[in-house]
Amino acid sequence: MTQHFMVIGNPIAHSKSPAIHQIFAASVGLDIRYARQYCPDASDSFTAVVEAFFNGGGVGANVTVPFKQLAYELCHERGGLSAHAAVAGAVNTLLLKDGKPYGDNTDGQGLVNHLQQLGWPLSGAKVAIIGAGGAARGTLLPLLEAGVASITLANRTLSKAEALIQSLRNAHPLIAQAALNTSTVDELEGDFDLIINATSIGLSGDTLPLAPTLRCTYAYDMMYGRELPFLQHFSGLGAETSEGYGMLIGQAALSFTQWTGKPLAVAELMPQLTAMP
């Protein structure tokens, strides 16, 4: 029996999700159809698309830009949310539970899974995250669950970083007890085990105003698919680096397993997944 899935976004034609999930399905012997679904950027349109999909027998949906907050609101009002989605304030994975929409956010755990696949140690790590938007927000809880010792959130506007930290402290007890700090990007300095770029600045070719005294053992950029100045900078300082394609794979794998109940051998599938055009 064919199971139906989709990814909702605007724009959506560029999405690699259908190809990724077809590789997942083939590896566990499932017959699936995974479609790209364009949606007008409006709340009522998004709700109508989701309702039509599940009413038609759809099993699960991914949600991408600009609908992650709308998906959160839909599940908050009509169904349920995972702890990760509640903290992130965003949903990237939809399914039905007891006939109601249920939302999860697998982005942060997908990042953690990729970091662990790379062999980068997280237990006891001193971490800095650059950016205070939705991408950064979704990473804090999974990183703390993985055992990092401290997190410094750096943003060009300090007040935005401070406001995010305060809202997250109120959202989950593990975050409330954590060693969390804030900084402006240009004043972030010293040695970190891991620095994560959670901004999209590298896609524009611009560079972050990084202090000359800032160092790390590992540098990770959530963006992928092109040369990234952030990674070039830290590679030149001797750090081990990675772009974010593995995070994309990681979050997709978690969605797939949640929908189907089928665990995936992601590391074994990476040669196929990285060979996709």
The residues assigned a catalytic role are: 68
Of 58, 108, 64, nearest in space to 82 by CA: 108
Assigned token pair, 151: 């997190």
State the DSSP H helix or E strand holding residue 145, giving kind and residue range, or none if neither. helix 140-145
Could you identify the residue written with the tokens 């997190």? 151
105 class by beta-carbon count within 10 Å (0-12 exposed, 13-18 middle, 19+ buried): buried
Strand 60-63 and strand 93-97: the pairing is antiparallel
Using CA atoms, how far apart are residues 38 and 248, in angstroms rounded to an integer?
20
- Residue 38 and residue 55: Cα distance in Å, rounded? 18
Distance, in Å, from the CA atom of 217 to the CA atom of 237, rounded to the nearest integer, reads 9
Whether the CB-CB separation of 73 and 94 falls below 8 Å is answered with no
The answer to whether 128 and 95 are in contact (CB under 8 A) is no
Omega within 30 of 0 (cis) for the link into 11 = yes
- Bond into 101 cis (ω within 30): no
Question: Which among 144, 162, 166 is positioned nearest to 153, based on CA atoms?
Answer: 162
